Amino acid sequence: MGGVEEVGGRGGRNPVVSLWGHLKAVGTGLKYLIAVPRMTVKYPDEVIELPDGYRGMLIYHQDLCISCGLCATICPANAIKMYLPSGGGGGEGGGEKPETPPKRHPGIDYARCIFCGFCVDICPTGALEHSKVHDAAYERVEDMLYRPEEFAAGPPTVEFERPPKRLRPVMDERRGISYEPVG
């Protein structure tokens, strides 16, 4: 067993040393029980201010989109697919080919999206962008699929029952993360 220390092996450790260890562990537990404040944020009554660059649900600017399809190609979760405009107009099959085939546009399935941001990074025209919305809830899984028109309408707005308290996380060397209210 080269180099692997067998913890609590047959020889065991010095019982006095391990007793001290036990006492120290219990002491640490007591310290945390009494003296150390909680870090839980009571969402949805308290909400953390999100930093810039947060990768939330996507905003799609259809006017900038050139239908290159790179976003659908790069998406590792297959969340983005290219859709023909709904309401007919060409498409494959159909006898006569129209002069200019209708353009396809991206739609997104948030049931699949992992918010990796690859689509935003690869989009050559900046048509895709992250919002800070991350807490939309859906009753049916089908509702999570946004076709291009719905995608272009922007991410859903989230409403709170009571106006939440806004908090900003502060890193503290000694206490770890703590939160201070904003505004």
Partner 1 sequence: MGALGWILGLLLSPWVFVPLIYPGLVSAFAVLLFIIWFERKLAAKVQRRFGPYYVLRHLGGATQLVADLIRYLFAEPIIPEEADALAFVMGPALLFGLTLLPVVAIPVSGTFYAIRSDVSLLIVLALLTLGAAMTLIIGWAGNNKFSLIGGLREGFLSMAYEIPLFVAALSMAAAYGTLDLVDMVEVQAETAWGVALNPLAAFVFLVISFLATSRFPFEISEAESELVMGPFTEYSGIMYGLTMGASYLKYYVLCLLFSIMFLGGWEPVPPQLAAVPFGPGVVVFAKALALMALGVFLRAVYPRYRVDQAIRLAWHYLLPLSVASVFVSMGAAWLGLTGA
Of 32 and 54, CB closest to partner 1: 32
Q: Does 157 bind partner 1 (CB under 8 A)?
A: no
Q: Does 57 bind ligand SF4 (CB under 6 A)?
A: no
Query: What DSSP string describes 63-94?
Result: TT-----HHHHH-TT--EEEEPPSS----SSS
Peptide bond into 44 cis (omega under 30): yes
Amino acid at 123: C
Backbone angles phi, psi at 141, to 5 degrees: -70, -25
32 binds, among partner 1, ligand SF4, none (CB under 5 to 8 A by kind): partner 1
The tokens for 127 are 């048509």
Of 42 and 103, CB closest to partner 1: 42
Q: Specify the pairing of strand 46-48 against strand 165-172.
A: parallel
Instruction: Please give the residues from 13 up to 52 whose contact with partner 1 meets the rule CB under 8 A.
Output: 15, 25-26, 28-29, 32-33, 36-40, 42
- Chain residues binding ligand SF4 by CB under 6 A are 65-71, 74-77, 79-80, 106, 108, 113-119, 122-125, 127-128
